[in-house]
A = this chain, B = another copy of it.
C-alpha cells in the first residue's frame, strides 16, 4: 500500500493531526529554513541573512514551531555573546529530500511557469 502507509492518519481528513504538520512544513518560510539547514547547522543571524526578506519575528516563530515538532534542534552555546545554533534532527533529515525537491523545482521550471503566466494573462486581456 504505497499511498496509505499508516491507516490511522489521513491528510485529507479535516481533523487529522497530519493537517497541522502539513500546515507547518507546507509553508514558504519553513521550506526555505529546512532547506537552509540541509547542509549543516547554522546560527540565527546566518539563516536570517541567507534567506532574503525574512523578518526576525517570522524566523524565530517558524524555528520555534519546527523545534516543537522535532524537526529542528536548538543549541545554545554559552559563549559571549551567546550563540544559538540550529540544526536538523534525524527526523528533520528525513524531510530534506522532499523539501529540496520542491525548492529546486521552482528554480528548474521557472521559465516554463513564466511562459504559462504570459499565456494565461494574454488570454484574459485579448478576450
Contacts and interface: CB of A to CB of B under 8 A. Distances in A.
A115 B106 CA distance: 33
Interface of A, helix, strand, loop or mixed by DSSP: helix
Interface residues of A, number: 61
A103 B70 contact: no
This chain's copy number in the assembly: 2
A117 B70 contact: yes
A88 interface: no
Interface string A26-47: 1110111001100000000000
Interface-central residue, A11, A35, A100, A114, by most chain B CB under 10 Å: A11
Contacts of A70: 112-113, 115-117, 119-120
A52 B6 contact: no
Interface-central residue, A3, A50, A115, by most chain B CB under 10 Å: A3
A51 interface: yes
Nearest to A4: B107
Contacts of A71: 113, 116
A82 interface: no
